[in-house]
Structure 1
Amino acid sequence: MLLGCTALVTLPQGLVAQDAGMEPDGSYRLSPIIIEAGTEVDNDAESVVASELWTGGKVATSILDTPASVSVVTQKEMEQRNADTVEDVLEYSSGIITDYYGTDDRNDYYLVRGFQASTYRDGLTLGTMRGVREDPFAYERLEVIKGGNSTLFGTSDPGGTVNFVTKSPRFESFGELFGSYGTNDQAEIGFDFGDVVNPSETLAYRVVGKVRDAELEYDDSRDDSQFFLGAVTWAPTSYTELTFTADYLKRDGTPNSGGYPLDRDYDRDEFFGEPSFNDQDVERLTLSAEFRHEFQNGLNLRANLRYSDLEDDFGYVYLTDNDARTGSVVDRDYFGGESTAEEWIGNAIVQYDASFGSVDSSTLAGVEFRSASTTSSSFYGTYTPIDVDDPVYSGPPTGYSPYSVLENDYRTRSLFAQQNFSFSDRIVATVGVRQDWLDIEQEDLSSGSRVETEDDFSETSYRAALTYKITDETSAYASYVESVAPPAIGTEPERGEQYEIGVKYQPAGLNALFTASAYELTKTNVVVPVVLDSGVIERQTIGESRVRGAELEAKAELTENFGLVGAYAYQESEFVRGNVRGTEVDGNEFATVPNHLASVWLTYELPGNGAHGDIDLGLGARYVGEYFYGVTNDTGTSPEQYYVDASFGYDLAENTSLQVNVSNLLDRQYVVGQGTAAYYNNGRTVTATLRRSW
């Protein structure tokens, strides 16, 4: 399929795209897409190479013709590497650094092109749900679009967008059941199955679930979770489809003690928090509906609606060390809070495709709304020190009261449009615009009396791109995109703009995709977290920052038995202007942004011969260059980091396999972050998984 840039919808297998007439061979022409009945979409369970991008109707498109740097991690790649967290999923993608807070397990931490990236689910922002650690088993794939994308997605961070594509029903019978056990008493069971319900094959369902009972590598810890999803799809005709999805996520974990003392290396199994206080409980319910209809005349309609409800409570005692400390007694503070969020979000998107001689046109327009309410209560205070050579726990803090009690309401209304023109199936021009109206209301009860404030924003973002199809296998592009980060009351929204050029190659006869890009990404009104002398972390505006870089990425199944996933990125970060706590940082590099990132994952299959089943071997290596720990560039730098990962799979019988994965095979220990404590990377883990599929 030849898809025209980023405004063309790919239809599921069995659907036929039409415009005014039928071609002689029985196919139908829709803009620059040729789709014949029976064309298959990406099968994420069978390949590490994705050829299409899916963003909830904003839109599905050929990656080869998308004028942006894109990284897609499929279900097969996640299974090969046993990627159990979002950080694990992204660590082999170009231009993304992960896990820079190491064993701080409250959130997933990653930067894309040196900046934060906004998270989306099926093309709709996760908004107030974005701080939750997602379970990769719930998703078909993760898609990363590098750079600002506010024109397509609304308010978003400049680094890019991470889109989680939810598992949905398929009109076939399938299933998977697995159990695993590994390091730190990590035990999991999971299932994923579905089928067609009725003889007319208009109703299908899917059920997904995973239960985890585990500890972390430090003492007095746990890392338990449960996830369940149920979905039903009704397709009364070949042109209409309606899907309902309900899912539930619960996490019960133990946040680490803010890291380890600064004076020397410590064993990762040591714990300097409070076993009876360090705790995090997350519970989220999500209900979703998706509708799409093709009118058979070039007009398509898609609508999405989602409701989410979240509770997130945590508390932890953590170290507040400093380089001037003498002796083995280290100060500690405590921090915690309770929060809730309730959110409705939805959109409606209309697309019209037509042809005018050698010019194909695709016009997309949509409306979007979001309504969210949050509450938060935060507490903080100093706590009893601890002797790190002979730790004695003091019990949970008592008598504290919240220093911040807030209630917030967010209302967003958006209009967006995008126009694509394809000239002679070789040149594709894209322009887009989006207008977001945001209203924020806040009630502050911190002082005991209610203080009400409000603010409203009207933000416009643009994008423009030109794609040239050099051959049917090779495309080159140049693009300009903008981003507007989610604003806060009394502050200007952070804005970003990116200039990018790139080339993509998808050779005929080989399941592979090779990409290269160069970019300049600038962000103004920049806000960064800064550790104050008191140990409190405060967000401060420092002005303008910029990253210039280049990226290479390759995903290929070079032969029937040999596969490759490789990536390299060069990043040159700089604070153009600004200061932190009275210190100018002009010309400084970003914190936690290395100049060089590289990775490679190789797989090889040894076919069975009757005496034994197939054997699958995987070997990966990752390199992370050194980077500064803080924006002032005077608090130290990280060491260069080298990691080796491996996997071994054996087919015990048809559709039954045993897989062993080892992460950080050499058990390297690095200080990956540093503030009032040192953060270590995760140690070696070994996991064995028994999987049965049908």
Structure 2
Amino acid sequence: MRSRSLPCTPRPLTRAVRAAAIALPLSILAAPPASAAETDARRYEIPAGPLSSALSRFAGDAGVLLSVDGNLVQGLNSSGLRGEYAVDQGFAALLRGSGLRAVRDAQGNYSLVAESAPVELQTLHVQGSLGNALGSMEGYNATHSSVATKTSLPLLETSQSVSVVTRQQMDDQGSQTVAQALRYTPGLMSTPYGATTRYDYVALRGINDGSVDNLFLDGQKMLGDSGTYSSLQVDPYFLERIDVLKGPSSVLYGRSNPGGLVALTSKKPEYEAHRQLQLTLGSNDFKQGAFDFTGPLGDEQRMAYRLVGVVKDADNQVDGIEEQRYALMPSLSIDFTDDTRLTLLAMLQHDPKSGYHGGLPADGTVYQHNGQRISTHFFEGEDDREKFERDQQMLGYQLEHRFNDVVSARQNFQYLDSRVDSEQVYQYGYTTQYGYGADGDLYRAYTGAQEALHAWSVDNQLQFEFATGAFEHTLVTGLDYQRRKARVNYDGGTASAVNPYTGVRPEATYSFYHQYDESRRLEQTGLYLQDLIALDRWRFSLGLRQDWVETSFEQTNSIYGDQSDSDKESKLTGRIGVLYAFDNGLSPYVSYSDSFNPNTSPAYNGTTGNFDVTLLKPTEGEQYEVGLKYQPPGTDDLYTLSYFDLTQSNLSSKDSSENFFRSVGEIRSRGVELEARTRPTPNSNLVASYTYMDVEYTKDYIATSGANNRGNTPNVVARNMASLWADYTFADGALGGLQVGGGARYFGRSWADAENTLRLPSYTLFDASLGYDLSRVGLDGVGVRLNLNNLTNEKYVAACNSLYQCYYGEERNVMATLNYDF
């Protein structure tokens, strides 16, 4: 057994840190009640704009819950709010002349009603110090996000590139996976493995490691194991919004991919009753039923529930492949006092079948093989050895308490459990490449695995809002801890060849063997401090974090004997950002951030006479970003332009003659991103983006034999990407209630392999949607929608991982959805 370590915190301090992480919620619940927020004045700087945005920001900054009927504020504007106000005074000032007033109930929550009479409300929740950065919203244009700072901050004042996909955008575009929901977001590639729906792969800013290690749920990292099949997936119907943070983010989240992260926010309980039933039918015999129920519990309305469920059954564009899902997400919110809220969360998901997850050689897909191409429906595996059954459970809570107008505390906890039972026969090139077989026969291998993953994480945060002279501070300090353990029993083997061109499939023969049993562990403890400083129109963001990470694995290998290794790493990361918010809506900014990500997968050293398994050094990343954001005064529209220079180092690379991995590789990614989210008219939405990227290997192992990729471009990277989506809803006349939408997605030429021997052609895909509100014909609460993706049925290879593994993109797909809201 081998181990090595870098300087790290002594064990007693580590134990003390973990004890503090667990003890914090007890101190929150035992804390004395806060002072009454409705009587204490504080300073606000809210610009002129739509009344809905001004109210949302005011409620978030004040830390109160606001319920709003969107029809009441539609088309109304606000002159903004500047100066010191108590909560009641602030609402009165914002609503002056609008014909509306804010009413406070016995629990300290506010609702918006007409001055003459109350109305039936549709709820918009804004709770506590995170404001509307996590709540539900209407339309496509989010105004705030917490993903970059762990506190509610206007996107216009965030000195890093952030994109937000709202619930309405997901619905209008008919997104069936998280990856599909991100198709119109700049700076990312959401189909690096083609039309697969088993995982939500997202490659950000040219950085793709083949994992889903950059996904977060409700502020917590989804602790799947990137070296196994135990990576979790969340159904998009369970989500309220998706925030995408571009660039390194270790200062708040610890180990992370330097390209960025995707933060999923689940649906939470609401205090106004709402129920939805949904039925979707579509291509490949797609059938899905879903429901979403929420509302208050009890006469005092101190509790609210939400229950969301999905049942899905579908075939696939690949012959013989199926998808099935049974998923449930219950949650319960309890307001112990006006200042203390606990939300209990759970997700239970069973996927008996998880769709296609294979690839085909470039020879026969990207270009013809002897004048023929492999069909997009061809299945290279075997029905009796195709299995991917996944069970995953998540239990957690979010606890928030405001001590007073200065101090608030939050704790987020998640426990994850996943079990995967899988088998797969897959191809890896033609048999003739290995010196045997007939022309056109595919060489095939077999893998099988039984896996169990257990993980939990906790994030404790204290937030302080105060002023020192002319400087206004929002100080966030935190302590987080995560622990993950994965066990896997892995089988290998080979299967007889199959020819994709003849239409004949002989009965398969197999050769199996048990390869290894492995246990993999990871622990991370992190302390972080962030200060958001406002000085007049200046905004400064300063952050530091210290992490201690321990990784280990133990392997019983039937071929090479027992193997094990462990590693301890200590890393200090930081972030700094400067932004100036002009009165005219322009906000130029500059920022720097860095990251690190420990290697939890073993690398194999196959040198002659020796076989060893070791953990490589953590990859590291750093990024410089310069940008400009623009929000025209009086609107929620947001236009962003950013230039980034990103480097990822310590990538594993090898000399093909030694088959020995070394942490010597480096990628540099530079580019420009443009995004526009606007409402040209009150009944329309428009989302447009363009990305230019220049990505290359800047360091690689100088091989004594074999290729050196220095100067080459990684696969799954296009120099140019662009997208445009627009929709319009007719309000009146014969077409009243009709919604039409359409979009286009362009992905430029990319390389099939890191050696840059084969280019993939560019492709452009068109999407369309058509919806109608059936309440216009007397069916209250009923709506229908038709979505068509890849409208022209373009046949294309979305990406390749090598010359032997290329992935067809999704064929034309038609989905019809019926909603009933009541």
- TM-score of the two chains, using structure 1 as the length reference: 0.91
**Aligned-partner Cα distance in 2 for 1:110–1:539:** 25
Partner of 1:575: 697
Secondary structure (helix, strand or coil) at the match of 1:593 reads coil
Contact kept, 8 Å, 2:476 with 2:531, in 1: the verdict is yes
Q: Is 1:79 paired with 2:171?
A: yes
Q: Is 1:564 paired with 2:686?
A: yes
Contact kept, 8 Å, 1:3 with 1:65, in 2: the verdict is no
Q: Is 1:687 paired with 2:815?
A: yes
**Aligned-partner Cα distance in 2 for 1:289–1:508:** 38
Q: Is 1:625 paired with 2:748?
A: yes
Post-superposition offset of 1:321: 2.0
Q: Is 1:310 paired with 2:418?
A: yes
Post-superposition offset of 1:228: 0.5
- Give the letter for the 1:494 counterpart: T
Which has the higher mean CA deviation after the structures are superposed, 471-480 or 74-83?
Answer: 471-480
Which has the higher mean CA deviation after the structures are superposed, 489-498 or 392-401?
Answer: 392-401
Contact kept, 8 Å, 2:749 with 2:761, in 1: the verdict is yes
Contact kept, 8 Å, 2:334 with 2:342, in 1: the verdict is yes
**Aligned-partner Cα distance in 1 for 2:323–2:264:** 22
**Aligned-partner Cα distance in 1 for 2:141–2:64:** 18
1:313-332 aligned within 5 A: 313-322=421-430, 327-332=439-444
Post-superposition offset of 1:641: 0.6
- Give the letter for the 2:248 counterpart: G
Relative to structure 1, the CA distance from residue 620 to residue 56 in structure 2 (aligned partners, 3 Å threshold; closer, same or farther) is closer
RMSD: 2.9
Relative to structure 1, the CA distance from residue 2 to residue 148 in structure 2 (aligned partners, 3 Å threshold; closer, same or farther) is farther
1:410-429 aligned within 5 A: 410-424=522-536, 426-429=537-540
Partner of 1:666: 792
**Aligned-partner Cα distance in 2 for 1:594–1:444:** 38
**Aligned-partner Cα distance in 2 for 1:176–1:120:** 26
1:391-419 deviations in Å (ceiling 9; x for gaps): 55566765522323210222211111111
Relative to structure 1, the CA distance from residue 93 to residue 540 in structure 2 (aligned partners, 3 Å threshold; closer, same or farther) is farther
Which has the higher mean CA deviation after the structures are superposed, 129-138 or 472-481?
Answer: 129-138
Partner of 1:408: 520
Q: Is 1:275 paired with 2:383?
A: yes
Partner of 1:178: 278
Secondary structure (helix, strand or coil) at the match of 2:301 reads coil
Partner of 1:266: 374
Partner of 2:643: 518
**Aligned-partner Cα distance in 2 for 1:55–1:477:** 17
Post-superposition offset of 1:621: 0.3
Post-superposition offset of 1:327: 2.8
- Give the letter for the 1:499 counterpart: Y
Post-superposition offset of 1:472: 6.0
Partner of 2:159: 67
- Give the letter for the 1:205 counterpart: Y
- Give the letter for the 1:600 counterpart: L
Contact kept, 8 Å, 1:626 with 1:638, in 2: the verdict is yes
Relative to structure 1, the CA distance from residue 349 to residue 320 in structure 2 (aligned partners, 3 Å threshold; closer, same or farther) is same
- Give the letter for the 2:699 counterpart: R
Post-superposition offset of 1:274: 0.2
Relative to structure 1, the CA distance from residue 107 to residue 441 in structure 2 (aligned partners, 3 Å threshold; closer, same or farther) is same
Contact kept, 8 Å, 2:494 with 2:511, in 1: the verdict is no
1:302-329 deviations in Å (ceiling 9; x for gaps): 0011111001222211222249666332
- Give the letter for the 1:475 counterpart: S
Contact kept, 8 Å, 2:649 with 2:667, in 1: the verdict is yes
Partner of 1:656: 782
1:335 to 426, 447, 455: 447
1:640-688 deviations in Å (ceiling 9; x for gaps): 1110000000112232111000000000011223331432111000010
Bigger Rg, structure 1 or 2? 2
Number of equivalences: 675
Post-superposition offset of 1:23: 5.0
Relative to structure 1, the CA distance from residue 627 to residue 541 in structure 2 (aligned partners, 3 Å threshold; closer, same or farther) is farther
**Aligned-partner Cα distance in 2 for 1:540–1:647:** 49
Post-superposition offset of 1:9: 7.3
2:200 to 98, 108, 113: 108
Secondary structure (helix, strand or coil) at the match of 1:276 reads helix
Relative to structure 1, the CA distance from residue 690 to residue 455 in structure 2 (aligned partners, 3 Å threshold; closer, same or farther) is same
- TM-score of the two chains, using structure 2 as the length reference: 0.78
Post-superposition offset of 1:379: 2.6
Contact kept, 8 Å, 1:57 with 1:123, in 2: the verdict is no
**Aligned-partner Cα distance in 2 for 1:25–1:605:** 36
Relative to structure 1, the CA distance from residue 384 to residue 103 in structure 2 (aligned partners, 3 Å threshold; closer, same or farther) is farther
1:262-661 aligned within 5 A: 262=364, 263=369, 264-322=372-430, 327-393=439-505, 400-424=512-536, 426-447=537-558, 450-471=562-583, 473-488=585-600, 490-527=615-652, 541=663, 543-579=665-701, 582-609=706-733, 613-634=736-757, 636-653=758-775, 654-661=780-787
- Give the letter for the 1:428 counterpart: R
- Give the letter for the 2:285 counterpart: D
Post-superposition offset of 1:441: 2.6
Partner of 1:155: 255
Post-superposition offset of 1:105: 4.3
Relative to structure 1, the CA distance from residue 100 to residue 486 in structure 2 (aligned partners, 3 Å threshold; closer, same or farther) is same
Partner of 1:122: 218
Which has the higher mean CA deviation after the structures are superposed, 368-377 or 128-137?
Answer: 128-137
Post-superposition offset of 1:57: 7.9
Post-superposition offset of 1:203: 0.3
Partner of 1:32: none
- Give the letter for the 1:303 counterpart: Q
2:150 to 58, 72, 89: 58
Post-superposition offset of 1:613: 4.8
Secondary structure (helix, strand or coil) at the match of 2:170 reads helix
Relative to structure 1, the CA distance from residue 689 to residue 569 in structure 2 (aligned partners, 3 Å threshold; closer, same or farther) is same
Partner of 1:33: none
- The percent of aligned pairs where both chains have the same amino acid is 27
Post-superposition offset of 1:284: 0.2
**Aligned-partner Cα distance in 2 for 1:522–1:56:** 19
- Give the letter for the 1:440 counterpart: T
1:428-453 deviations in Å (ceiling 9; x for gaps): 11211111111123221124865443
**Aligned-partner Cα distance in 2 for 1:628–1:518:** 23
Relative to structure 1, the CA distance from residue 278 to residue 103 in structure 2 (aligned partners, 3 Å threshold; closer, same or farther) is farther
- Give the letter for the 1:442 counterpart: F
Relative to structure 1, the CA distance from residue 191 to residue 331 in structure 2 (aligned partners, 3 Å threshold; closer, same or farther) is same
Secondary structure (helix, strand or coil) at the match of 1:604 reads strand
- Give the letter for the 1:388 counterpart: P
Post-superposition offset of 1:67: 0.8
**Aligned-partner Cα distance in 2 for 1:584–1:562:** 51
**Aligned-partner Cα distance in 1 for 2:595–2:655:** 27
**Aligned-partner Cα distance in 1 for 2:200–2:509:** 27
**Aligned-partner Cα distance in 1 for 2:507–2:648:** 44
Partner of 2:337: 237
Contact kept, 8 Å, 2:206 with 2:695, in 1: the verdict is yes
Relative to structure 1, the CA distance from residue 614 to residue 14 in structure 2 (aligned partners, 3 Å threshold; closer, same or farther) is closer
- Give the letter for the 1:26 counterpart: Q
Partner of 2:19: none
**Aligned-partner Cα distance in 2 for 1:126–1:388:** 38
Post-superposition offset of 1:532: 8.6
Contact kept, 8 Å, 1:104 with 1:259, in 2: the verdict is no
Q: Is 1:200 paired with 2:308?
A: no
Secondary structure (helix, strand or coil) at the match of 1:583 reads coil
Secondary structure (helix, strand or coil) at the match of 2:481 reads strand
1:3-14 aligned within 5 A: 11=63, 13-14=65-66
Contact kept, 8 Å, 2:177 with 2:197, in 1: the verdict is no
